[in-house]
Amino acid sequence: MPNSPSPAGSTDAVALTDRTDDRPVYVIGGGPGGLATAAALRARGVRAVVLEKSDRVGASWRGHYDRLHLHTTRRWSALPGLKMPRRFGRWVGRDDVVRYLEKYTEHHELEVVTGVEVNRIDPAPDGSGDWQLTATGGRVLRGRAVVVATGFNHTPRVPDWPGRDTFTGELLHAAEYRNPAPYAGKDVLVVGIGNTGAEIAADLAEGGASRVRIAVRTAPHIVRRSTAGWPAQATGILVRRLPVRLVDRAGAVMARIAVPDLAAQGLPRPEAGLYSRVREGAIPVQDVGLIDAVKAGRVTPVATVASFDKDAVLLADGTRLTPDAVIAATGFTRALEPLLGHLDVLDARGRPVTHGGRTPKQAPGLYFTGFTNPISGMLRELALDAGKIAKKVARSH
């Protein structure tokens, strides 16, 4: 068996890289981070092979709900070497993101192999400093470096609520939600008020659900996606390196100016500062309809879920609800432990200890991208990471 799989698609065009190199850099994941890194590597003359477990690039984007648009601007969401078309608009929709990723792969003539899932990463047994990948189909692949880009939203997480298995209504993770049509005329409880939960709740309210409630554990910071034409992302870029206390104070002032007080509707302003929460991993909710829906009573905030009891959901404040459906917008896990948990490169929460152009001291040549969620925009940071990784790899090998 050869050391590397054959590339998908045509390779008739003259390549910038030597595709006979049997020690390529393997990039695991064909989403924005993986594709951007592969393009940046190729631009530096380094052979990069993208391994994607699904049958197409951008698999996670294809599965998002219908109304999803980027919360970051078109300009600051493009990957290295290819602008997003102006016709996509300022806030690019899901389908256009997918089209862009397909075009990006074609434009850069990326070497993408689909239908291959990497199960384990190990140092090459000969002590050469190379890496060995064990993948589906009995494949054992060898590369000079590995970039893990399997994604921030990898495996849906549904809390193991007491009585969950007894619930007689519909219970699904937000990853399975597409549009409000199946919930017209129904009573729906959305659990979790991150960006996904907030947008799904607004979507349901606008789409004909008879009642929509959203279960809130901790009140989020809510920001306008754009204020007087100024995108929230621009603020995120400007402030991310400023002192936390300063940004917290500025954020509180902006919130009082731009966002109404929803305490009377059950959604008080958070006590902790905006940037303090970001540093803990809590990204602000960008408003795309939630504020108006809460003000109008079309979405009702309630206490967090404590347990289930057959047809009922019991909340932390003792309230008993009987919704027709519960949509758990409760996040995802990185699910990196089976792949590389044995390498001691993950922190206590299962996140890589390094990202971008830095590699763990005990694992040189192993890179990570896409496992942070910065307020400056994930796609923008993926693009920056791609350049840093490519520069480091080209210099090191």
List Cβ neighbours of 228 (8 Å cut-off, separation of 6 or more): none
pLDDT (mean) for 24-32: 97
Say if residue 373's pLDDT is above 60.
yes
pLDDT digits (tens, 9 = 90+) for 226-244: 887 888 888 888 888 889 8
Based on the fold, state whether residues 253 and 344 are members of the same structural domain.
no
Q: DSSP letter at 115?
A: S
341 belongs to a structural domain: yes
The vertex-232 CA angle with 230 and 235, nearest 5°, equals 90
Based on the fold, state whether residues 186 and 312 are members of the same structural domain.
yes
List Cβ neighbours of 362 (8 Å cut-off, separation of 6 or more): 343, 344, 345
| Helix (H/G/I), strand (E/B), else coil: 188 | strand
- Say if CB 226 and CB 364 are below 8 A apart: no
Based on the fold, state whether residues 182 and 139 are members of the same structural domain.
no
Q: How does DSSP assign 94-109, residue by residue?
A: HHHHHHHHHHHHHHTT
Based on the fold, state whether residues 144 and 71 are members of the same structural domain.
yes
20 belongs to a structural domain: no
Based on the fold, state whether residues 61 and 169 are members of the same structural domain.
no
- CA 252, 257, 263, 267 dihedral sign is negative
Based on the fold, state whether residues 161 and 259 are members of the same structural domain.
yes
pLDDT digits (tens, 9 = 90+) for 72-93: 999 999 999 999 999 999 999 9
pLDDT (mean) for 47-53: 97
- Say if CB 327 and CB 305 are below 8 A apart: no
9 belongs to a structural domain: no
pLDDT digits (tens, 9 = 90+) for 166-211: 999 999 999 999 999 999 999 999 999 999 999 999 999 999 999 9
pLDDT (mean) for 370-377: 86
Say if residue 70's pLDDT is above 90.
yes
Q: How does DSSP assign 29-66, residue by residue?
A: --SHHHHHHHHHHHHTT--EEEEESSSSTTHHHHTS-T
Based on the fold, state whether residues 150 and 165 are members of the same structural domain.
no
Cα 283 to Cα 30, 236, 293, distances in angstroms: 25, 11, 21
**Mean pLDDT computed over every residue of the chain:** 91
Domain end: 296, 311, 328, which one? 328
pLDDT digits (tens, 9 = 90+) for 261-273: 999 999 999 989 9
Domain end: 300, 328, 356, which one? 328
The dihedrals phi and psi of 391, each to the nearest 5 degrees, come to -60, -45
7 belongs to a structural domain: no
2 belongs to a structural domain: no
Say if residue 355's pLDDT is above 70.
yes
pLDDT at residue 16 in the model? 45
Based on the fold, state whether residues 97 and 185 are members of the same structural domain.
no
The pair of structure tokens assigned to 332 is 């995802």
348 belongs to a structural domain: yes
Domain end: 301, 328, 355, which one? 328
Report the domain count for the chain.
2
Say if residue 10's pLDDT is above 80.
no
pLDDT digits (tens, 9 = 90+) for 110-152: 999 999 999 999 999 998 999 999 999 899 999 999 999 998 7
pLDDT at residue 117 in the model? 96
Based on the fold, state whether residues 147 and 183 are members of the same structural domain.
no
Based on the fold, state whether residues 359 and 389 are members of the same structural domain.
yes
Q: Which residues pair with 368 in a beta bridge?
A: 148
Cα 300 to Cα 129, 199, 296, distances in angstroms: 56, 14, 9
Based on the fold, state whether residues 144 and 127 are members of the same structural domain.
yes
pLDDT (mean) for 93-104: 97
| pTM of the predicted structure, to 2 decimals | 0.89
Say if residue 249's pLDDT is above 80.
yes
Q: Please tell me the least confidently modeled range out of 32-36, 324-328, 345-349, 386-390.
A: 345-349
The domain of 357 spans 25-154+334-396
52 belongs to a structural domain: yes
The b/e string for 177-190 (b: 16+ C-beta within 10 A; e otherwise) is: beebeebeebbbbb
Say if residue 7's pLDDT is above 70.
no
362 belongs to a structural domain: yes
CA distance 122 to 116: 17
pLDDT at residue 375 in the model? 82
For β-strands 131-135 and 118-123, DSSP reports them as: antiparallel
| Domain harbouring 171, CATH code | 3.50.50.60
For β-strands 312-315 and 320-321, DSSP reports them as: antiparallel
| Helix (H/G/I), strand (E/B), else coil: 257 | helix
Based on the fold, state whether residues 181 and 219 are members of the same structural domain.
yes
The b/e string for 298-318 (b: 16+ C-beta within 10 A; e otherwise) is: bbbbbbebbebeeebbbbeee
